[in-house]
Amino acid sequence: MAKLYFRYGAMNSGKSTALIQVAHNYRERGQQVFVVKPEIDTKSPVVLSRINVTRDVDLVSDADTALRDVVLASGRPDCVLVDEAQFLTGEQVEDLFRLAVLDGIPVIAYGLRSDFRTRGFPGSLRLMELAHSIEELKTICRCGRKATLNARTVDGEFTQDGSQVAIEGDVGYESMCGTCYLNKVGTLG
Amino acid sequence: MAKLYFRYGAMNSGKSTALIQVAHNYRERGQQVFVVKPEIDTKSPVVLSRINVTRDVDLVSDADTALRDVVLASGRPDCVLVDEAQFLTGEQVEDLFRLAVLDGIPVIAYGLRSDFRTRGFPGSLRLMELAHSIEELKTICRCGRKATLNARTVDGEFTQDGSQVAIEGDVGYESMCGTCYLNKVGTLG
Amino acid sequence: MAKLYFRYGAMNSGKSTALIQVAHNYRERGQQVFVVKPEIDTKSPVVLSRINVTRDVDLVSDADTALRDVVLASGRPDCVLVDEAQFLTGEQVEDLFRLAVLDGIPVIAYGLRSDFRTRGFPGSLRLMELAHSIEELKTICRCGRKATLNARTVDGEFTQDGSQVAIEGDVGYESMCGTCYLNKVGTLG
Amino acid sequence: MAKLYFRYGAMNSGKSTALIQVAHNYRERGQQVFVVKPEIDTKSPVVLSRINVTRDVDLVSDADTALRDVVLASGRPDCVLVDEAQFLTGEQVEDLFRLAVLDGIPVIAYGLRSDFRTRGFPGSLRLMELAHSIEELKTICRCGRKATLNARTVDGEFTQDGSQVAIEGDVGYESMCGTCYLNKVGTLG
């Protein structure tokens, strides 16, 4: 039985790099991958790693995309990889689950587990409920501990205000451990 | 830094046995544990393992229990263990997070991740958002694959009807793999 | 494909309890397990947990036992469980690997990874080389940190003398973290 | 307490990419890493990833290098990263263990666990005995299963002959699952 994997990590933990490496591994063994990225990150139709590696995506999805249909119509890949999986809808996660369970295609979804208020994204929460395997990609806080939360800054100040998704201009993010988050942001949101 | 651990597993995966073993290990090294169990399972104020081991609980909590206050007032244990952690409120999970991060007391919470409709419980979802470490306790489906979902039966028939929690009379549960769940229950709920 | 699992842990981490729980889970789903224990622990032909649960073993093996032949002749169980797997020979671990890979029978081997001088046992080292999945059962040191090493005492004094296996009279063992091991035992052996 | 991590994986599983990503993460948080590579791979004093990212190493070690002394003399980094850690000596692994336990510097060692005859390398075996955390970097076999073993080819033919390390001319390697290894190479070596 193929599985649905959720590989989560705080911001800048190397999720896109890991995806690109796995895509490379499959291709190197003569296998076909299908790479999906939800459109919410409109800046680029590519997977973009912070160590300066990129990869084209096969599908930029929106909330209405019927993922299972599109993947099966594409010619049955050996593996489906999803970047920024936190932006999937719950129904799309169910589609990925069916691709693994009913169609025998392994699916590896990379994403954040929680937003700047420590709350799950719709895609992450459904992945946490359904994934056959939940694996963490670790990164560190500025203090040296493991980072597990994501803090938002606006003009360099920590804030818990604003919508769940915001990437414009003066908005920044920093992955943090629990201690630093409580110290700097103040509450769990 | 102490951590908040979420050790999740399908029904009958041995969560209570694992809790009792960890409590034993701490005591054997001369350390103190504090065992919490939400009151929703009204049958017994003990941790009850299916291999016939039991352990008294130190606190039967309800939705209003201020977990952090009670634990700290109890004399500062070396570890907090929670049985049936899916029945905690989100606020109580935040309390457990603070016990680990601010008070330096490790917390290990054992629980289901999802109900018979594949939906998270309030406590499980908040644990999935906040736990420093998410670990699976594995068990098997009747077909031999790993079980990750929980199906409900009423009078021996699979159903997706009813409230999230029901343990009376003719209601039964079976842990299942995705394939068997889709075959027997029909949909993802 | 079935897998060979190595679930290792320091002394008193609950390996036998975990084995008994898994055996229970299989039986409860109507499946057959086959429990093996190397004879070196001559005290008892049972799996004995420190929380006072026991289970009969199906085979007490010695270094000459052809594990794969015996298991296949026994009527093809759904799973093979091994207690004290550190005492297997390397060839027997290879047999377990073949049972998983060629015969499709999952094998879960529980054991120590290292002796009181921090050196691997023959069975553990071959399991570390061949197992499809290596998983840790955690326990704690007297100081509260995770214990990963095993120290030997004779008449209550820590020592690095003696043969790899010794369980008679005044010999005792304590699972320890690296810091306490270096402090109390002195060197890495 | 800092920890010694062993992150192992079959050939071409992305170990060097992962190391480069972690080094990037530390630097991005204003922290200092120290990158070690045993000299046995004489081709290059850099960490070289197959997705075409490279990083300079801070130390090319040989079997006589006193790793702990060199690292501490370098100015106390926040983290030590080791590429091709299977080529360390056992004593050097003990030095890494002491760097973590006694000096409080986390060490992450990336390497193969076994050679083309399924036997551990000296560095890998000692890491398997001493590491506080053993984590797998997964990759796939040509058949789609997880690869856990490494097969050697000479002129395109699978072989179990030759020395443990050989990277000249017509020697090639392929990461494989157990089934394909037994089918193509024949025995476990």
Q: How do residues C12-64 score in pLDDT, each as one tens digit?
A: 999 999 999 999 999 999 999 999 999 875 566 899 998 889 999 999 999 99
pLDDT of the residue at D168: 74
Nearest CA to D136 among D148, D124, D127? D148
pLDDT of the residue at B66: 97
Nearest CA to D22 among D98, D78, D74, D71? D78
> Which of the four pLDDT bands, split at 50, 70 and 90, describes residue B1?
confident
Q: What is the dihedral of CA D50, D54, D56, D61, to 10 degrees?
A: 0
d(CA B50, nearest CA chain C) in Å:
8
Q: What is the DSSP string of C144-173?
A: SSBP-EEEEEETTEEE--S-S---STTEEE
Tracing tokens 């009279």 back to the chain, one arrives at: C169
E-assigned strand segments in C32-186: 33-38, 46-48, 54-56, 59-61, 79-82, 107-111, 133-136, 149-154, 157-159, 171-176
Cβ neighbours of residue D133 closer than 8 Å, sequence gap 6 or more: C136, D3, D4, D5, D6
Question: What is the rounded average pLDDT of the residues B68-81?
Answer: 97
Residues in chain D: 189
Is residue B135 within 8 Å of residue B15, measured between CB atoms?
Answer: no
Taking the C-alpha atoms of residue C66 and residue A25, their distance in angstroms, rounded to an integer, is 38
pLDDT of the residue at A168: 74
Question: What is the rounded average pLDDT of the residues D88-102?
Answer: 98
Structural domains for chain C? 4-136 (3.40.50.300), 149-184 (no CATH)
Tracing tokens 């290792």 back to the chain, one arrives at: C8
> Which of the four pLDDT bands, split at 50, 70 and 90, describes residue B43?
low
**Is there a binding annotation on residue A63?**
no
Give the DSSP H or E segment for A23: helix A15-28
Amino acid at C45: P
pLDDT of the residue at C185: 94
> Which of the four pLDDT bands, split at 50, 70 and 90, describes residue C169?
confident
Does the beta-carbon distance from C118 to D134 stay under 8 Å? no
Is residue C128 within 8 angstroms of chain D, CB to CB? yes
Q: Is the pLDDT of residue B166 over 90?
A: no
Question: What is the rounded average pLDDT of the residues C95-116?
Answer: 98
- Average pLDDT of chain D is 94
pLDDT of the residue at B129: 98
- Contact list in C for residue D146 (CB cut-off 8 A) is 132
pLDDT of the residue at B100: 98
Is residue D21 within 8 angstroms of chain A, CB to CB? yes
Taking the C-alpha atoms of residue D11 and residue D146, their distance in angstroms, rounded to an integer, is 12
Taking the C-alpha atoms of residue B87 and residue A2, their distance in angstroms, rounded to an integer, is 31
pLDDT of the residue at C41: 58
For residue range D52-79, what is the model confidence (pLDDT) as tens digits? 899 999 999 999 999 999 999 999 999 9
pLDDT of the residue at C43: 62
Question: What is the rounded average pLDDT of the residues B22-33?
Answer: 95
E-assigned strand segments in A17-106: 33-38, 46-48, 54-56, 59-61, 79-82
Q: Is the pLDDT of residue D43 over 70?
A: no
pTM (whole model) above 0.80: yes
Q: Most confidently modeled of B93-107, C169-183, D159-173?
A: B93-107
* Number of other CB atoms surrounding residue A171 within 10 Å: 15
Question: What is the rounded average pLDDT of the residues D26-32?
Answer: 94
Cβ neighbours of residue D141 closer than 8 Å, sequence gap 6 or more: A29, D147, D175, D176, D177, D180
Question: What is the rounded average pLDDT of the residues D163-184?
Answer: 90
Question: What is the rounded average pLDDT of the residues B61-82?
Answer: 97
Nearest CA to D133 among C21, B21, B133, B108? B133
Q: List the single residue in D94, D118, D178 with the smallest CB-CB distance to C188.
A: D94
Question: Which of the residues in chain A have pLDDT under 70?
Answer: 41-44
Mutate to test the interface with A, among D13, D21, D52, D137 (most CBs of A within 10 A): D21
pLDDT of the residue at A43: 62
C40-to-C18, C60, D92 alpha-carbon distances in Å: 20, 9, 33
Amino acid at C34: F
Does the beta-carbon distance from A51 to D53 stay under 8 Å? yes
**Which residue of chain B comes nearest to A95, CA vs CA?**
B188
Give the DSSP H or E segment for A24: helix A15-28
The question of ipTM being above 0.90 is answered as: yes
Residue % of chain C over a pLDDT of 90: 85
